[in-house]
Amino acid sequence: ERNIALDPTYNNVAYEVVRKHPLDHHNKELVEQLSLIEKQREIDGEARSALSYRRAISALISYPRKIRSWREAKKIKGVGDKIARMIREYLKTGTIQAAETVANSSRFLITSHFASIYGVGPTTARDWYGKGYRSLEDVLDAEGDTLSNVVKMGIELFPDFQQKMTRKDVEEIVEVLKEVLRGIAEGFVICPVGGYRRGKEINGDCDVVITHPEEAKTKNLLRQLVDALKAQGYVKHVLWYGEGHEKDQVSELRLQSGKKNSFDHLSKAFTGFRQPSTGINRQVDLIISPQSLYACAVLGWTGSKQFERGLRNWCKYGGVAAGHTFKGGYHFASHGLFDRRTNKRVHVETEEDIFKFLKLEWADPTLRNA
Ligand code: TTP
Ligand code: MN
Ligand code: MN
Ligand code: MN
C-alpha cells in the first residue's frame, strides 16, 4: 500500500512556486490542526516557529493524496522532524495534543480575537491581554481615549468586517467600482485579486488592481477614485491611504518602505466600503498600477502570502524546476521585477512573461493557495 504511485506531476520540492496548491486537497483536517498551532505561534510573536509550520502546511496542501504513515510524511520536503512527529500522533490518535491545547486556550481565543481587528497586530493584542483586557469593551473602557484613529475605526467596523464575503458579494463591489471608474474616464481595467482570484468561495475582503492603457490616466487616479467613492456614499472610512512613487529612481524603489502597511510602492487605499445590497461595510483594498507594472501588481496581490514568500525567494536564490535552472539574483515586488546587481527593472507585459523569465511553469491562480 505504501507503494501506490503518486501523481506523476507532483513535485516534492521546497519551492512553493514549483508545486501546486489547490483549495481542495487531501489533508484538510491535518492542515486545520497545524494551522491552529501556526496561528498561535504568530500571535505569540514566535515568527520562526510560525514560519516552519506555514512551510509544512503548504507542503501538505500540495501533497497529492491523504498521508497514511509517518514515514510518508517525513519524506515531504518542508515537513521537519517535529511536525512529522505531530503527524504520527495525528495518524495514531486522530488529534494533535498541541493543537487541542491551543483550541482550548482562552489566551489564544482572546488574543486572536483582538488581532483580527484591522489595525491591531499581535504585539498590541498581547499587550492588551497582558493588561488584563478580555473583551473589546474592556479595551474601550480602559483605552478609549488613547486608541489611534485607525484602531478606533477597526473596532467600529469589526462587526461588519468579520462577516465573510461570497464571490457574488465581491463581484457586486467590482461592478460598482467599474461604474464609478467609468464616471472618471473610459478604459480602466479592473482585476479582482487576493483570495477571490485564487478561487476562494469565502473571502475576508475584496482586493482589486486597477490600471489603464494610458499611463497618465493612473497618475492621480487614487485621489480621484477615493473622492468619487466618498462623494457617492460608498466609502466613509479610509483605513490606509498611500500614494506611490512608481516613477522614482529604480534603486530607491527597491528599498523596503518604512511606512506601515506599505509593502510596495503602488498607490493604494484600504477602505470600508458600504455594499449596496446588504448595507454591510466591506474591506475593499484598492491598488492602482500604471500599465507598465500591471503584471507584477496582479502577481504580487494574488497571493497567497506563502506563495508570494516563495516567489520572492525563488527570484533571489533561484533553483531547479522541471530540469531548468534559474540562477536567482532578482528581486520581486508588486511594483516590479528587478535585477539585484544593476537595480534595473525587467520589463514584463504579462504574468506569463514573469513565469517564463523565471524559468517556471505557469501556475494557475487557483493553484497558488500555498
Ligand atoms: P489579503 O487580502 O490580506 O489576503 P487574501 O486575499 O489572500 O485573503 P483574505 O481572504 O483574508 O483577504 O492580501 C491579498 C494578497 O496580497 C495576499 O494574498 C498576498 C498579498 N499581500 C502580501 O504579499 N503582503 C501583504 O502584506 C499584504 C497585505 C498582501
Ligand atoms: Mn483579500
Ligand atoms: Mn486578510
Ligand atoms: Mn486585502
At 323 the pLDDT is: 87
In a domain, 57, yes or no: yes
**Do residue 289 and residue 171 come from a single domain?**
yes
**Do residue 349 and residue 238 come from a single domain?**
no
Q: What angle do CA 235, 114, 256 make, to 5 degrees?
A: 70
Answer with the one of 101, 121, 147 that is the final residue of a domain: 101
In a domain, 5, yes or no: no
| Residues spanned by the domain of 40 | 28-101
d(CA 34, CA 61): 12
CATH number at residue 336: 3.30.210.10
Residue with cell 461592478: 175
Give the mutation target among 207, 256, 335, 366 for probing the ligand 1 site: most ligand atoms within 8 A of CB. Answer: 207
Would you tell me how many other CB atoms lie within 10 Å of the CB of residue 63? Answer: 24
CB 204 near ligand 1, within 6 Å: yes
CATH number at residue 261: 3.30.460.10
Q: Are 261 and 240 in contact (CB under 8 A)?
A: yes
Residues of the chain short of pLDDT 50, as ranges, are 1, 248-253, 255-261
User: What residue's CA is closest to ligand 1, atom 19?
Assistant: 303
d(CA 178, CA 228): 12
DSSP characters over 286-348: EEE--GGGHHHHHHHHH--HHHHHHHHHHHHH-EEETTEEE---EEEETTEEEETTT-PEEP-
**Do residue 207 and residue 319 come from a single domain?**
no
d(CA 287, ligand 4 centre) in Å: 10
Q: Give 74-125 pLDDT, tens digit per residue.
A: 999 999 999 999 999 999 999 999 999 999 999 999 999 999 999 999 999 9
**Do residue 286 and residue 173 come from a single domain?**
yes
The ligand placed nearest to the CA atom of residue 307 is: 1
In a domain, 7, yes or no: no
CB 205 near ligand 1, within 6 Å: yes
User: What residue's CA is closest to ligand 1, atom 22?
Assistant: 305
In a domain, 78, yes or no: yes
**Do residue 250 and residue 189 come from a single domain?**
yes
Q: Are 78 and 11 in contact (CB under 8 A)?
A: no
**Do residue 174 and residue 281 come from a single domain?**
yes
**Do residue 43 and residue 75 come from a single domain?**
yes
Distance of CA 49 to the CA centre of its chain: 19
In a domain, 58, yes or no: yes
Mean residue pLDDT of the chain comes to: 94
**Do residue 94 and residue 200 come from a single domain?**
no
Count of domains in the chain? 4
Classify burial at 363, counting beta carbons within 10 Å of its beta carbon; exposed 0-12, middle 13-18, buried 19 or more: buried
Which atom number of ligand 1 is nearest to the Cα of residue 285?
Answer: 2
d(CA 112, CA 291): 39
Answer with the one of 245, 262, 294 that is the final residue of a domain: 294
d(CA 261, CA 270): 10
In a domain, 318, yes or no: yes
In a domain, 22, yes or no: no
ipTM of the complex model: 0.94
Helix (H, G, I), strand (E, B) or coil at 211: strand
Q: Are 346 and 356 in contact (CB under 8 A)?
A: no
336-339 and 206-211 strand pairing: unpaired
Q: At what angle do helices 136-143 and 122-130 cross, to 10 degrees?
A: 80
In a domain, 12, yes or no: no
**Do residue 224 and residue 253 come from a single domain?**
yes
CB 301 near ligand 1, within 6 Å: yes
d(CA 343, CA 334): 15
d(CA 128, CA 136): 10
Which atom number of ligand 1 is nearest to the Cα of residue 198?
Answer: 7
Answer with the one of 86, 101, 116 that is the final residue of a domain: 101
Q: Are 245 and 222 in contact (CB under 8 A)?
A: no
- Secondary structure of the chain: what % helix, strand, coil (to 5)? 45, 15, 40
At 4 the pLDDT is: 60
At 247 the pLDDT is: 53
Give the mutation target among 23, 305, 309, 311 for probing the ligand 1 site: most ligand atoms within 8 A of CB. Answer: 305
**Do residue 317 and residue 214 come from a single domain?**
no
CB 240 near ligand 1, within 6 Å: no
